[in-house]
Amino acid sequence: MARRCESCDKGPITGYNYTFLRSHWNPHNKRRWLPNLQSIKVRVAGTTKRMKVCTACIKAGKVQKAG
């Protein structure tokens, strides 16, 4: 399954690691930043469903945890 939030569709982003050396040549290594996904039980339309949701959506109250 993809590493995507099922609530806000947040996914991985790509960029470079910079190794800052004293020389003029700096190697650029590619890397990925992954979202902080948690698998939680969520109440959707009166039923309980397990979803992968990012912590930003949990904190903002975009999903209602089934307790």
pLDDT in tens, 7-54: 999 999 999 887 666 666 776 788 999 999 999 999 988 899 999 999
Name the pTM for this structure.
0.77
Please count the residues of the chain.
Answer: 67
| 37 phi and psi angles, rounded to 5 deg | -95, 140
Rounded distance, CA 58 to CA 40, Å? 10
- 67 is written with which tokens? 């307790």
Domain residue ranges of the chain, discontinuous segments joined by +: 13-60
- For the residues of 17-35, what is the DSSP string, one character each? EE---SSS---EEEEEE--
